[in-house]
Each structure stands twice: as structure tokens, then as C-alpha cells.
Amino acid sequence: MVALFHKKINLFVAGRKQTFEKLTAVKNAQNTIWFHAASLGEFEQGRPVMEAFKEQYPTYKIVLTFFSPSGYEVRKDYGLADVVCYLPVDSEKNVQQFLDLVKPKMAIFIKYEFWPNFLNGLKLREIPTILISGIFRPNQIFFKKHGGFMLKALKTFDHFFVQDQSSKELLNTFNINNASISGDTRFDRVHAILDQKNDLDFIDAFKNKHYTVVAGSTWKEDEKLLVDYINSEASENTKFIIAPHNIVAKDIEALKKSLQKTCVLYSSKSGKNLADYQVLIIDTIGLLTKIYSAADVAYVGGGFGKSGVHNILEPATFGIPIIIGPVYEKYKEVVDLVALKSCLVVSDKETFSSTFTQVRTDETYRSQLGKTNHEFIQNNLGATKMIMEYINTQLK
């Protein structure tokens, strides 16, 4: 009933009605591997392993499932997977039907999503099941007095590849000793971005060799600070590219109207001399990674909301300074970069202004921040290789 009034829930319900029909495409496959991602962020963590797997096992079919519409709707056409579908609801009947169709040689869960019926079904069929890029905290249900049933499900995994030492120690405390510290596969993913072509002609034309701030995945709270700074303090020689998290026409128009500087939308750039504008608003998706490559400094949004800051690894791999809002504690990589003092935290209009001014005016400081961020990515590579070595032992 909720689906009648809520677009995202409607996608969630309608999408699952197609799952078993889609899975018939692999029911007669000799070799299939199953990857499960909760949403888009987890997909990006699993992607390096999927790519490495397909390169090494080209005859295998890949089934990729999502829990959330925000992952499925963006990646439903992912070319490397033979089937992309929603994960069925975790009932015993659905589990049996799913596993009868897919018959995976291995199941790979990404970061989290622990469904007891699916995990128990995999265990009963002796299908190797691993978790990659896992991270565990004491406040999770497995480790509470009332979470015994979930802890039991957790213990069905054959191996855990976790991001940090504290996750491994926490598992050990509960007699789960089949864990390895691999780090986060996203480091491998963002590092690979450097090997692709990242130049965009329209960005080069807009930037026109000027100092450029790229504000990515921004929310209204971020944009209020950005607009105040652009309108009142920004140098005329500084360019701004804003890529909002949600592309809603009325919100994009409101953002444009709030700016007192010359402003152009990506969707209306055709025929315009982009060098004449100081602000460019990206009212489309899929370009942000490449746009970061043109930045002198990146502001990553989300840090003023409950969910916290968005992905900082993409700008970090390009070796540029990063500025964020104050909510970031859930994300290990952000905590680490803040500790290294190369990801700068702002909390209000005053710190926003002073931080942007310091990074803008002190070229040596700016260069050192960027170098530290790039080295951080380099120093955390290798998770994909470790995971693939384990997979090879299981599929022999």
C-alpha cells in the first residue's frame, strides 16, 4: 500500500516482481557467481572484484543483486553482469527458488547486508560465502544481547575480508576467527580512474585555466554556505562547478537564482562561451568523477546532514585538497584523512570562509594537502588482489 504513494517504495516492490523471471537467463549455466550489494556505494566497492573476476573467469556468469532502488536503477544495465536484479525478500521459499535458479559456485556479499535465510540456505548447500570490504562496530545487532539470531547467521560466512584491525578483533571476540584485513576495495577502484580519459572539453572551456572549486554531491545545507561564499567573498578569478546530489529541476533553478555571479547550467551550455561564466551547475549525473580531475580543490557534500559526507576517495585519487562538513565519523577513510589533516572540516560560515581562503591563497599548503591525499590512496591498494587469491582457492 505504501508503494502507491512513495516512488522509491514502488520501485522496490515492482522491481522484485521481475526477479525470478530475469534469473531464468542463468538457470542452465554451468558456472555462476553471485554478488550482492545493498546499494550504489556497495556496488562500487564490489566492482573491482567483479572486474577482476570476469577477467580471470570469462566463462562464468555473474548475477548481481541489489536491495535498494538507488543502486539497481543506476546500475541495472551494468554490462559485466549477465543478470542484474533485486534481491528477493528474505523468506525460505524465495531463498530456495533463488538458489535453485542461480546455483552459484560462490556468493559474495559486499560490506554489509546480512539476510539470515539466504545465509542459512547457502550454508546448507555448502556454497562458499564471503564478505568483502566489511566493517564492524560494537553497536551492531550481532554483538548485542538480543542479537543472537543475527550472530548465528553471521557465523555462516566462510571468510570475512574486513577493512580494519578493530573489525577483525571484534569478530574474534565472538569466536569468529575466519577474517583477514584486506582494506577497502574502493581504493583499487578509484586508483583505476587515473588510467581512463578524464578530460571534458566543456570543463576545460569553462575553467579557462582559472583556479577552480568543484563542489560535488551537495545538499541544500552545503549550497547555502557555498552561495554565501560565492556571492560575498569569492575572487572574480575563481571558478565554481557545483554538482548537486539530487537533480530536481525546481531546486536547480532556485540554486541558480540565489547566485549573484554569472551562472550557466550544464543542460543549457550549448552555444554559449563558457569562459564568460563564473559558476557552472551540473544538472545531470555521471560526470562528477571526471570533473574532479579539473579541480584545484574539492568540496564534498553531505557533511551537514544525518547520513554524513559522500565519497571523498575520488577527489583524493586526483591529488587535490578536500573540504567537508562536520558529519563524517561513520566513514573510516574520511576519519583517516581528517587525522592526516589533508581533509579539512568546516562547521559554519566563518570556518568555511577561512578554510577556502587559506587553500586558495597558499599554493604550497594546497599542494601538500593534495600530495597527502594521493599518497593515502596509493598506500591502501591491494584489497582486490587478496580477495581474488582466496576466490581462486575456492573455485579450483
Give 3-state DSSP helix, strand, coil % of the chain, rounded to 5.
50, 15, 35
What is the CA angle 183-189-193, rounded to 5?
145
CA atoms within 13 A on the CB side of 359: 29
Grid cell 525460505 is found at 92
Grid cell, residue 167, equals: 573489525
Cα distance between residue 393 and residue 390, in whole Å: 5
Q: List, in order, residues 6 or more apart from 157 with CB less than 8 Å away.
A: 109, 119, 129, 130, 131, 178
The secondary structure of 22-49 as a DSSP string is HHGGGTT-S-EEEEEESSHHHHHHHHHH
Burial degree of 58 (CB within 10 A; 0-12, 13-18, 19+)? exposed
42 annotated active-site: yes
Q: Are residues 164 and 23 in contact, defined by beta-carbon separation less than 8 angstroms?
A: no
Q: How many CB atoms lie within 10 A of CB 14?
A: 12
Tell me the β-bridge partners of 322.
298, 343
Cα distance between residue 73 and residue 55, in whole Å: 25
Handedness of CA 286, 345, 248, 65 (dihedral sign): positive
Q: Catalytic pick from 42, 223, 314, 333? A: 42
Please list the active-site residues: 42
